[in-house]
Amino acid sequence: MEKKNVEDVGGSTMCSACLLKLSYIIERMEKIESALYCIKGTLNFKEAREYLDLSNSQLYKLTRNGDIPYYKPTGKLIYFNKQELDEWVCRNHSETNAECGRIKEKDSNHD
């Protein structure tokens, strides 16, 4: 008889092969969920929080201060336009060293 590697997980018994398969399925499901954000135009609060990788309190603070664009169509639930979130994330672009050098060269050529 072949002995299987069995573990006791939370009161139930699972073989290590099953745990490995379950781990793989969860990983794939998370990738699929992430991909869905790419095709959605409107995100709810939880989706926007996950999309921006922020905590609940960070996102609430941004909405409360009016620092991030959002919508409250019913006066209670908060929604976000994904394109506006992308634009918000990409604002205040930091210049690279190469860009700074080109700007300085342009300024010195105008003098």
Distance CA 76, CA 61 (A): 16
User: What digits encode the pLDDT tens for the residues 2-34?
Assistant: 455 555 555 566 688 888 899 999 999 988 877
Mean pLDDT in the chain?
81
Domain residue ranges in the chain: 1-39, 40-111
Q: Tell me how crowded residue 79 is: count the other CB atoms within 10 A of its CB.
A: 15
- What's residue 39's pLDDT? 80
- Given pLDDT bands bounded at 50, 70 and 90, which one contains residue 1? very low
What pTM, to 2 d.p., does this model score?
Answer: 0.58
Q: Enter the tokens of residue 45.
A: 């609060």
Distance CA 109, CA 111 (A): 6
